């Protein structure tokens, strides 16, 4: 009950941040950045060593611009030093552990304190509420089953932002039955999952599902997907940009011309190949610094996407947060199985993240050799893990979670390296970052 009230208070407080003027927002960022930097230096072994290595002290970071004195951390650096990334003030066994879905084929582990997790959820709701979600709306979310157990019983009992979850692993026809019964005011899910549901609704000619507002995320939304979804459900679709590392980072408002960056919770930079910030309106790699992560501070972390920072001072919707546009991101394609069932790429990615031995996988890719054949290439973190046991368990896990029939073959190959193409992206991965 106390945690629920604390989360509600956080939501109430951060809603006011949407209308801060730029000076107040910059002051907030500066204060919080100094706090995070000092904490990381004093309590996180990796950052203490990194500051010493490059000859900097926490007091050298006095402004947001001073962040450029620090090197950019890519995912490889993060993975190699993960044991040194958690604060010594926390017991790692008491922290919440979440896995990235591995959309680049390289899964990561992120640690969160309960307070940080509450703040992430509050920010998620803030964007939804601004776009029209109401307290007692019937809210249906197509997601991974691992989120089912995390829904607050009290919110369901009181019907306060109560989430009704559907499994991303269910077929669109099965999802449609549940959605038709629930009649949601708010429909949310992975972009490809909402698209597949819309296509099933259109195929069956169902006209009883009339959400007032819809939200998509996790994958870069395709324009043709958006057109179909909004036409079928006759409701606006707002896309949201998020990663497991930071949760919600930017979101579309009803104007839908760009994405509002959650600048009260993170500092987002756009940099060129040399790590230098690009000018507003120019394309750059997205690099973020969290202003709320203390269990595992994330400073100048490259998320693996490309975006453009907008030069516009303020959106017509009234929100003062800075704007961005997505250029490239985790654009995914639908996988079609031999039984005719379409499979959202996020369904496979989350199935992998639920695998018991997932933390022992450094990198993976999924290749659909034929409609009835899937191959999973695995590069292990620990070569001492028994290949035969991992292969048997992974195949059984994938077949069970994705409900694959006996005609669809799944095989595992252990490799020393995952090949990449000239752009540096993994080849034939279901989802590319």
Residue 401 lies in a domain: yes
Split into its structural domains, the chain has a count of 3
Q: Are residues 81 and 55 in the same domain?
A: yes
CATH number at residue 383: 3.30.300
302: β partners: 287
Q: Are residues 24 and 75 in the same domain?
A: yes
Q: Which domain holds residue 198?
A: 132-235
Q: Are residues 253 and 204 in the same domain?
A: no
CATH number at residue 151: 3.40.50.980
Q: Are residues 111 and 251 in the same domain?
A: yes
Q: Which of 215, 235, 255 is the last residue of a domain?
A: 235
Q: Are residues 112 and 37 in the same domain?
A: yes
pLDDT in tens, 161-194: 888 889 888 888 999 999 999 999 999 998 888 9
Alpha carbons within 13 angstroms on the beta-carbon side of residue 198 total 26
Residue 365 lies in a domain: yes
Q: Are residues 298 and 360 in the same domain?
A: no
Q: Residue 276 in contact with residue 293, Cβ under 8 Å?
A: no
CATH number at residue 293: 3.40.50.12780
Q: Are residues 70 and 26 in the same domain?
A: yes
Residue 430 lies in a domain: no
pLDDT at 422: 40
328 CB burial (10 A radius; 0-12, 13-18, 19+): middle
Residue 428 lies in a domain: no
Q: Are residues 112 and 260 in the same domain?
A: yes
Q: Are residues 16 and 109 in the same domain?
A: yes
Q: Are residues 225 and 146 in the same domain?
A: yes
Q: Are residues 273 and 321 in the same domain?
A: yes
Closest CA to 318 of 268, 255, 257, 267: 255
pTM score of the predicted model: 0.77
Q: Are residues 113 and 8 in the same domain?
A: yes
Helix-helix angle 45-54:22-43, to 10 degrees: 100
Tens place of pLDDT for every residue, the chain, 433 residues? Answer: 345 567 677 888 898 999 999 899 999 999 999 999 999 999 999 999 999 999 999 999 999 999 999 999 988 888 889 889 999 999 988 998 887 655 454 567 889 998 898 888 888 889 999 999 998 999 999 987 665 555 555 455 556 788 888 988 888 899 999 999 999 999 999 888 898 899 899 989 988 899 999 998 877 776 777 888 999 999 999 999 988 888 889 999 998 888 999 999 999 999 988 888 999 888 888 999 999 999 999 999 998 888 889 877 678 898 999 999 876 554 445 667 776 676 766 677 778 877 888 878 877 888 777 778 888 888 887 667 788 888 999 999 988 888 888 788 888 988 887 765 443 433 344 332 2
Residue 93 lies in a domain: no
Residue 143 lies in a domain: yes
Q: Which of 213, 235, 257 is the last residue of a domain?
A: 235
- How far are the Cα atoms of 35, 58, 113, 150 from residue 48, in angstroms, in the given order? 14, 9, 21, 34
Residue 113 lies in a domain: yes
């Amino acid at each position: 009950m106390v945690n629920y009230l604390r989360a509600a208070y956080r939501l109430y407080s951060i809603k006011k941040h949407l209308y801060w003027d730029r000076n107040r927002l910059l002051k907030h960022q500066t204060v919080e950045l100094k706090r995070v930097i000092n904490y990381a230096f004093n309590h996180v072994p990796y950052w203490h060593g990194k500051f010493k290595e490059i000859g900097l002290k926490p007091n050298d970071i006095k402004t947001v611009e001073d962040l450029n004195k620090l090197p950019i951390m890519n995912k490889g650096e993060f993975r190699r030093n993960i044991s040194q990334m958690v604060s010594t003030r926390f017991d790692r066994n008491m922290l919440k552990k979440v896995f990235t879905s591995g959309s680049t084929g390289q899964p990561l582990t992120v640690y969160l304190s309960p307070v940080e997790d509450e703040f992430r959820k509050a920010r998620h709701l803030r964007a939804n509420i601004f776009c029209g979600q109401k307290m007692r709306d019937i809210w249906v979310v197509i997601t991974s089953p691992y989120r089912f157990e995390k829904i607050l019983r009290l919110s369901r009992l009181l019907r306060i932002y109560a989430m009704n979850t559907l499994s991303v692993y269910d077929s669109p026809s099965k999802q449609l039955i549940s959605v038709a019964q629930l009649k949601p005011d708010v429909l949310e899910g992975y972009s490809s999952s909402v698209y597949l549901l819309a296509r099933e609704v259109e195929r069956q000619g169902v006209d009883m599902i009339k959400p007032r507002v819809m939200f998509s995320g996790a994958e870069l939304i395709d324009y043709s997907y958006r057109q179909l979804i909004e036409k079928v459900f006759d409701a606006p679709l707002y896309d949201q940009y998020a990663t497991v590392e930071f949760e919600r980072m930017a979101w579309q408002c009803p104007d839908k011309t760009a994405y509002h960056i959650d600048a009260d919770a993170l500092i987002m930079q756009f940099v060129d190949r040399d790590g230098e910030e690009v000018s507003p309106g120019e394309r750059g790699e997205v690099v973020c610094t969290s202003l709320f992560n203390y269990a595992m501070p994330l400073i100048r972390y490259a998320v693996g996407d490309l975006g453009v920072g907008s030069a516009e001072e303020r959106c017509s919707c009234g929100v003062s947060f800075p704007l961005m546009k997505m250029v490239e991101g985790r654009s995914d394609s639908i996988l079609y199985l031999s039984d005719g069932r379409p499979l959202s790429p996020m369904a496979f990615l989350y199935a992998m993240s639920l695998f018991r031995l997932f933390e022992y996988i450094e990198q993976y890719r999924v290749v659909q050799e034929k409609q009835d054949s899937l191959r999973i290439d695995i590069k292990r973190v620990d070569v001492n893990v028994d290949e035969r046991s991992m292969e048997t368990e992974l195949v059984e896990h994938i077949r069970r979670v994705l409900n694959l029939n006996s005609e669809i073959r799944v095989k595992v190959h252990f490799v020393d390296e995952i090949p990449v193409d000239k752009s540096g992206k993994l080849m034939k991965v279901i989802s590319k970052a």
